[in-house]
Amino acid sequence: MTDLTGKRIAFLATDGFEDSELTSPWAAVTDAGATAVMIAPEAGSIEGKNGHTQQVDEISASADPSAYDAIVLPGGVVNADHLRMDAASVAFAKAFFEASKPVGAICHAAWLLIEADVVDGRTITSYPSLATDLKNAGADWVDEEVVVDQGLVSSRTPDDLPAFNAKVIEEISEGRHEGQQA
């Protein structure tokens, strides 16, 4: 496994996240030596759709993207829908593209990327119901387990987590990707 010691990884989510799409990548990056930090629109804790509770470390309105090496965006319909309506969360996610930093997005998290206006011209996958939304935003949507496009790692469902986690760790270890732009 690649060593991510010294790396700080932001996880951005809110209530209604897909539990395994937070807990599995979180375990993968921390097992690789990184520090994972939970960012959410509000302080306190957030709860996944299946009951996992996660303490919030920072709120998106005051979190500094420059303090992180990468961001992971868990899915979940309710989570993604609420995040894309939160301007601070959208701006926080977009800042990683502006800084050419790795981004991991799984399942419905691609909605947030559409709102951040960062998918035009990118090859991406997601939960299949987002295909039309992504195509309408200019993305080349493909139905694959995991897709990597210049530091953007995307996957479809919890079934894809092993491949997603491996590629997220690989992209974080590679660092900035000049093709990763807003």
CA 26, 28, 34: angle at the middle one, nearest 5? 75
Task: Identify the CA nearest to 8 among candidates 57, 43, 79, 74.
Answer: 57
Report d(CA 120, CA 130) in Å as an integer: 14
Query: Which is the catalytic residue, given 52, 82, 107, 177?
Result: 107
Helix, coil or strand: residue 171: helix
Q: What is the DSSP letter of 34?
A: P
Distances (CA, A) of 23 to 3, 82, 133: 19, 19, 27
Burial tier of 136 (Cβ tally within 10 Å: 0-12, 13-18, 19+):
exposed
Active site annotation includes 107: yes
Helix, coil or strand: residue 28: helix
CA 117, 173, 100: angle at the middle one, nearest 5? 25
Active site annotation includes 82: no
Supply the residues annotated as catalytic.
Answer: 107-108
